[in-house]
Amino acid sequence: MKARPPVETLSRTEAAAELADLAAEIARLDAAYYRDDAPEVTDAEYDALRARNAALEARFPDLIRADSPARRLGAAPAAGFAKRRHLQPMLSLGNVFSDAEFAEFCARVRRFLGLAEDAALIFVGEPKIDGLSISLTYEHGRLVHGATRGDGIVGEDVTANLQTLASIPPRLAGAAPALIEIRGEVFMTKADFLALNAEQAREGRKPFANPRNAAAGSLRQLDARITAGRKLSFFAYAMGEASESVAETHSGYLDRLRAFGFAVNPLSRVLAGEAQVCAFQAEMAALRAGLDYDIDGVVYKIDDLAWQRRLGFAGRDPRWAIAWKFPAERAETRLEEIRIQVGRTGALTPVAQLQPVNVGGVLVTRASLHNEDEIARKDIRIGDTVVIERAGDVIPQIIAVVLAKRPPAAAPFEFPTHCPACGSLAVRVADEVVRRCTGGLVCPAQAVERLVHFCARGAFDIEGMGEKTVAEFYADGLIRGPADIFRLAAHEAEIAAREGWGEVSARKLIAAIAARRRIPLERFIFALGIRRVGETTAKLLARHYGSFAHWRAEMQAAQMVGSEARSALGNILGIGPAIAEELVDFFAEARNRAVLDDLASLLEIEDVDAPGAASSPIAGKVMVFTGTLTTMSRAEAKARAEALGARVTDSVSRRTDYVVLGAEAGSKARRAAELGVAPLSEEEWRRLAGLEAVDARNAPRDALDNAGSDHEPAPIARTHDRKNA
């Protein structure tokens, strides 16, 4: 991992550029881990990248990106299995690494709930299994569906394979709800992993890198008989949707899981307060090596399910749970080569190719070096022996160079000043850490990368238009821009005559393209490859503007500095100034607008339905919260409003529908009065939101809710765990 200057020394411009870089890098690594079951690096670099991202967001909260890794769920499901939408999203966990960080997490829980600083918190501690997260759906006690986590919203339907696991009951024992989603982890024990690899070796097949990959590869077999021949285990630990309540506490829910017939980790324990949690963490760290399955930390969950519901989620992380990861593992290996990759935005990214080394059971072969400053700061040279650190179980980080083992001929690495793909000058703009190719439209790496992105999962998801096909079609002039993809039907005979194709393959490709002529607005926006606009930002924009025509018109209007459209764009929660600038710049380019209009003439771009529109009176409404609320914190109120389909912004404008006024509301109340925006009291807001009367024992104290301030507390810097909560 590259060396980076201290966060406190960065300018706003540098911070914005680095946040964009981190969002793209983490998204790529998530896809390798979640979708492909082929992690490229260990948790060391991954956790370090997320920690860096969290630190930057804490210092520059107004620069938090809508596609921030803190909001993203994982990666889209792979092809090969039917897709299954979860009844409730399968979200991930934040990470901590010390007792001090865990104490900060506890303080955040108390602050959100408005509890006293010394209020007791009861947790359930569960060893964090390193396997594959699964959601099981039971109807009237019978298993009807089983799916992988996927992107947290949609997973792969692996029901037939899961039915081969003896540890997953086909029917729930005893009384059960009419409908219940049960979540847990499919894993492989260390002994079964070694036996499987021995069998792989005997049959001349590639061994698995670690038990997690073995479990994931075994479960995701198109032939369920192969899965049945592998020894897989399952621990249940969480609940999704349920038609009725099954417990009042998480520990009580675990008891119900046992009664249903599931295996629940026997080491799970109820813990009263931070002191017991810290002691349990030390105990699990000591037991770790002797366990027959891999764990990389402990998950701590608030035991009270009513509190869990109140706390809800921040982006893709539950506020009521955290993963406390174990310390990093390290190893030495040789840096064999530094390769330069060119991304779709022209960024030149150095990648360290390493002599394969096993770090805690994971075979590490490469690591991102991010940019030339990182290489120079650590004086990393080809041929060096480097120290690799692995925090948790997936992503690697180059910690240092072993100078005593440096070869005499090793020379400082010279970062290229020209693009390796097109030969154009590669420049580094002032205040940015990234060097970019200036080739633009003439750079094949950028053009191909943009088209690959357009066709990828999460975007248009066109089966058959992978990197190799796109590169070939681009080189031969069949496609030059995204709209050309939807004109390939005119070239079907030509494609069929190409080497390696044929009539059947060409017909399937044209059919796959035709199937994507209807696309949701959020996927369309993401597919455009606008810099800093990832999947989460695209969803945010689609939800806010509702239709392609409205979005295009508003972005066009936002070209005028000081316009209402420009102000409205900047006021969307999650759209910082850097993202707004990229959107304005994209629409300022006539060629981009021409591409949009060309695509719109060929496609049906679906409008967005406001969530909860059928039942919520605030769905689609623009809301602002200001002042001190007495029955909940403003953070909880905003989360509730967004869950009901409202659009929460930070500033009052003519487009604002409601302003919820707490005590000492200040300037926003005056602005609402000037514009004639409907004010709501806290009681009126609660009635609109369908909230029952609050229990006075749990009512927040004014002093904990930033009385008289329109600013929320800075978020606690946290890293992330790629596991289901």
DSSP character string of 39-108: -SS-HHHHHHHHHHHHHHHHH-GGG--TT-TTT----PPPTTS-EEE-SS----EEEE-SHHHHHHHHHH
| Closest C-alpha to 35, from 87, 72, 88 | 72
Indicate the pTM of the whole model: 0.51
pLDDT category at 618 given cuts 50, 70, 90 is: confident
Mean pLDDT, residues 134-147: 95
Mean pLDDT, residues 158-177: 92
Mean pLDDT, residues 672-679: 90
Q: Which amino acid is at 22?
A: L
Q: Which residues are catalytic?
A: 128
Query: Alpha-carbon distance 147 to 154, whole Å?
Result: 8
| Closest C-alpha to 183, from 76, 301, 307, 296 | 301
Contacts by residues 244-249 (CB-CB < 8 Å, ≥ 24 positions apart): 244/177, 244/178, 246/177, 246/180, 247/305, 248/304, 248/305, 248/306, 249/303, 249/304, 249/305
- Most confident of the ranges 65-79, 214-228, 426-440, 674-688: 674-688
User: Which two three-digit tokens encode residue 246?
Assistant: 């099954």
Handedness of CA 229, 234, 240, 243 (dihedral sign): positive
Summarize pLDDT for 424-462 with one digit per residue, the tens: 889 887 778 889 887 765 688 888 888 999 998 889 999
**Range with the lowest mean pLDDT among 428-432, 463-467, 549-553, 566-570?**
428-432
Summarize pLDDT for 297-306 with one digit per residue, the tens: 999 999 999 9
pLDDT at residue 33, rounded to an integer: 57
Contacts by residues 582-591 (CB-CB < 8 Å, ≥ 24 positions apart): 582/530, 582/531, 582/532, 582/533, 583/530, 583/533, 583/541, 583/555, 583/558, 584/555, 584/558, 584/559, 586/528, 586/530, 586/531, 586/555, 587/552, 587/555, 587/556, 587/558, 587/559, 588/559
500: left (phi over 0), alpha (psi -120 to 50) or beta: left
Instruction: Determine phi and psi for 722, rounding to 5 degrees.
Output: -85, 55
Residues 623 and 646 sit within 8 Å (Cβ to Cβ): yes
DSSP character string of 325-366: EPPPEEEEEEEEEEEEEE-TT-BEEEEEEEEEEEETTEEEEE
Cβ-count burial 253-271 (b if 16+ within 10 Å, e if not) = bbebbeebebbbbeebbeb
**Range with the lowest mean pLDDT among 16-20, 84-88, 699-703, 718-722?**
699-703
Domains belonging to the chain, first-starting first, are 7-72+328-405 (2.40.50.140), 83-190+219-315 (3.30.470.30), 520-606 (1.10.150.20), 622-694 (3.40.50.10190)
pLDDT category at 615 given cuts 50, 70, 90 is: low
Query: Alpha-carbon distance 441 to 451, whole Å?
Result: 12
pLDDT at residue 714, rounded to an integer: 30
- 3-class DSSP state for residue 204? coil
pLDDT at residue 568, rounded to an integer: 81
Summarize pLDDT for 289-326 with one digit per residue, the tens: 789 998 989 999 999 999 999 998 876 789 999 999 98
Cβ-count burial 547-570 (b if 16+ within 10 Å, e if not) = ebeebbebbeebeeeeeebbbbbb
Is the per-residue pLDDT at 112 higher than 50? yes
Number of Cβ within a 10 Å radius of residue 541: 27
Beta-bridge partner residues of 142: 139, 171
Residue 418: Cβ-neighbour burial (10 angstroms; 0-12, 13-18, 19+): middle
| Closest C-alpha to 268, from 284, 279, 256, 282 | 284
| Closest C-alpha to 434, from 536, 367, 530, 343 | 343
pLDDT at residue 449, rounded to an integer: 86
pLDDT at residue 721, rounded to an integer: 53
Handedness of CA 125, 131, 135, 141 (dihedral sign): negative
Is the per-residue pLDDT at 715 higher than 50? no
Q: Determine the longest span between alpha carbons in the chain, in angstroms.
A: 79
Query: Alpha-carbon distance 247 to 362, whole Å?
Result: 39
pLDDT category at 66 given cuts 50, 70, 90 is: low
pLDDT category at 202 given cuts 50, 70, 90 is: confident
Is the per-residue pLDDT at 115 higher than 60? yes
Query: Alpha-carbon distance 467 to 469, whole Å?
Result: 6
